[in-house]
Amino acid sequence: MTEPKPARERLEEVFLIEGMHCASCVARIEKGLARLPGVAGASVNLATREARVTFDPSMVSPQAIRARVVQLGYAALDLPAPAVANTAPSNAPQTRRLAVAALLTAPVFVISMFHLRFPGNELLMLALTTPVVFWAGAEFFAGAWRGLKRGSADMNTLIAIGTGTAYGTSAAATLAPQVFSGAGTAHPHVYYEAAAMITTLILLGRHLEDRARARTTAAITSLLEREPPTALVERDGTECEVPVDRIASGDIVVIRPGARVPVDGQIIDGTSELDESLVTGEPLPVARGPGDPVMAGTVNTTGAFRFRATRVGHQTTLRQIVRLVQEAQASKAPVARLADAVSGWFVGAVLVVAMLTLAGWLAAGAPLALALVFFTSVLIISCPCALGLATPTAVMAATGRAAAHGILIRGGAAIELAGRVDTIILDKTGTVTLGRPAVRDIATAPGWTAEAVLALAGAVERQSEHPVGRAIAAAASDATHMPPPAKVSDFEAIKGFGAFAKVEGRSVLVGSRRLLEERGITTAPDLIPPADATATVVHVAVDGAHVAMLMLTDPPKPSSPEAVRDLRALGLRVLLVTGDAEPAARAVAAQVGIDEVHASALPADKVALVAGLQRDGRRVAMVGDGINDAPALARADVGIAIGAGADVAIEAADITLVGGDLRAVVAAIRLSRRAMRVIRQNLFWAFFYNAACIPLAAGALYPLSGFVLNPMIAGGAMAFSSVSVMLNSLRLARNSSCDSG
């Protein structure tokens, strides 16, 4: 019997692509890369210019992938450094070309529009238009030539043919008017203003796109600017100022009033209030003292403190947020598949339509000059720029705005799915409640004291990450007159039930009554759970005997009732799921306004609940913060993790709430719905624009009304369509985006 082959390792290569101008470029690059042996997937984002290629390193190298991009006629560049990533690059040459083009085009436009006739007027327009078309617009002809060499066509092809045709026929009419004598006119019309204005307007459109693109990444820029360049570090008993990138884990960092926290860490001494708004979205300063965590990018307000660095460099919360947002902005929403499919053949179809338009009008007996006007207008007005920008610009704006509210959305797919959910499941502990339960009371069996029970249970739970476990460990630490046990071994976290360990040789089990029963431990008859349904009961067994019962309380977060009310207002069905017993679960649910409760749920039960709802046709979002929630987060249509929770839960989620406020769930769903509306508007406009304008440009109204769409107007309409899509997407970046449905 042969052994199965090991799964092939897959890596991801991420780089920038220069030279793309439309959705057809994106489709060509993705198809070209996908044909390489060993490439499992390729995704190119027109708005960010970023390519992400998943590949098998045993079959293809990153160098071969980039070489393929160059072979296709584009440039493959390294990503910029994190400090400047996703910021708008300086494009002085393009700005200079736009300025010169506008300066030279203005007199051509005036002469043409006001029909000014004077000796040499056409020669003057020829002299002014030539540098506009062939210097300012050189990139269009260069791009068209590259496409011709590789046997393909894109936006540059359409623009080059359109402006070249308008310029060429006008130059011929000026320098050799006898060419048009067969058309029955002694003074053929010239279209210098069309050639010049088309070039200038398209350059203006690209300039405005670049500026709008920079605005979509403003949230990332703001985050990166919050990281100070230097910090005060204690070394060898003295304070010294060092660059942030040279801070090491374990260093003692000194923070004074008004200073920014440079890296993540834990306060050693001192107290203050920190402004965490840019990282968590919380508007009010948060009190911090010894033992509390601090995050890079937060601002100290009044006090002074020292903290020990725990996560530095790219490991800090701030850098991780930036990385997640960058990845999200480079991703695609599934709805973009329609645009990708269309753009693959769109330019070729436009060229065919333009040629048929020219041939059809000539066959109908139209003058060559008129037929060329229709031909040029079809080419210029059909550029699929808006189609390629419709989805990625909305995703960029939405994820950037969400990050400013402490909401990390993994990408376009998460936005699309979150916008469609109709059911939301909320974990209780740490999600609906504060997640900081405290031991309120202890009932012990004869022969045991509360202090002795806490010493053993606390020793076990010091190894646990569960909020209940941390509460028991904290209660044990408060009992300072009891020395901590010296030796803990064989620790086992029993998901959904509790924990087990050997403490100084004694077997200690801490968890639910169900756990004790499954281990064959009989509960003590005098240890009966209290009637107070708001308490969470944890049982302790030592060496197979039930010895104590701990009562813990964990009140709801103050914002939870409002969040639940708002979720209902959005039309969502809201459920509460928890591993706690039914009475405690229903007590919390009643306080926050939830009717449907699923208690005593193990991780598998949570997954089954999600799957059952999905089988019933529901689109389900799961919100949780613990290891127990990770399977359900992964199974749900949308997993939403509380940022203060376990790393494994965050990794399994599609959306992470950095601050932990449940109202951010409402904001995330509202923003996702709003983003999907904008995407649909953008796609509708892009398709409608082309569907309506191509027949108009081809002269559909000319036989009825004599209407002729000037190629100059066509160029302006094409540029406006792209800019309008960008501006519509930027509505998502306004402050109200996360606050209104």
Put the strands of the sheet holding 299-300 in their side by side order: 286-288, 272-275, 299-300
> Tokens in use for 655?
């959306």
Backbone angles phi, psi at 13, to 5 degrees: -105, 125
Length of the chain: 741
Q: Name the active-site residue from 427, 580, 625, 661.
A: 427
Query: What CA–CA distance (Å, rounded) separates 739 from 506?
Result: 54
Element holding 243 (H helix, E strand): strand 238-243
Give the residue from 79, 322, 86, 316 showing the smallest Cα distance to 223: 322
3-class SS of residue 532: coil
Taking a C-beta distance cutoff of 8 angstroms, is the pair 47, 216 a contact? yes
Cite the beta strand spans of 285-381 per DSSP E.
Answer: 286-288, 293-294, 299-300, 305-311
> What single-letter DSSP state applies at residue 193?
H
Taking a C-beta distance cutoff of 8 angstroms, is the pair 425, 620 a contact? yes
Geometric angle at alpha carbon 226, from 557 and 670, rounded to 5°: 45
The alpha-helical segments, DSSP class H, found in 593-706 are: 603-615, 630-635, 647-652, 663-697, 702-705
Q: Which residues contact 596 (CB under 8 A, 6 or more apart)?
A: 573, 574, 575, 576
> Tokens in use for 739?
């606050």
3-class SS of residue 444: strand
Q: How many CB atoms lie within 10 A of CB 352?
A: 11
Query: What CA–CA distance (Å, rounded) separates 697 from 562?
Result: 54
> Tokens in use for 306?
């020292």
Taking a C-beta distance cutoff of 8 angstroms, is the pair 369, 376 a contact? no
> What single-letter DSSP state applies at residue 733?
G
- 661 is annotated as an active-site residue: no
Backbone angles phi, psi at 589, to 5 degrees: -60, -40
Geometric angle at alpha carbon 681, from 24 and 715, rounded to 5°: 50
Query: What CA–CA distance (Å, rounded) separates 536 from 441?
Result: 11
Query: What CA–CA distance (Å, rounded) separates 52 from 727?
Result: 26
Q: Which residues contact 531 (CB under 8 A, 6 or more apart)?
A: none
3-state DSSP helix/strand/coil % of the chain, to nearest 5? 50, 20, 30
The alpha-helical segments, DSSP class H, found in 331-367 are: 336-363
Backbone angles phi, psi at 118, to 5 degrees: -155, 160
Q: How many CB atoms lie within 10 A of CB 368?
A: 17
What is the dihedral sign for C-alpha 714, 716, 717, 722? positive
The distance between the two most distant Cα atoms of the chain, rounded to a whole number of Å, is 118
Taking a C-beta distance cutoff of 8 angstroms, is the pair 683, 339 a contact? yes
Q: How many CB atoms lie within 10 A of CB 635?
A: 18
> Tokens in use for 494?
């029993």
What distances in angstroms separate CA 456 from CA 7, 406, 437, 690, one per listed residue?
45, 39, 19, 73
Query: What CA–CA distance (Å, rounded) separates 62 from 80?
Result: 17
Taking a C-beta distance cutoff of 8 angstroms, is the pair 226, 294 a contact? no
What distances in angstroms separate CA 442 from CA 439, 481, 523, one per listed residue?
8, 17, 15
216, with CB counted inside 10 A (0-12, 13-18, 19+), is: buried
What are the residue numbers of the active site? 427
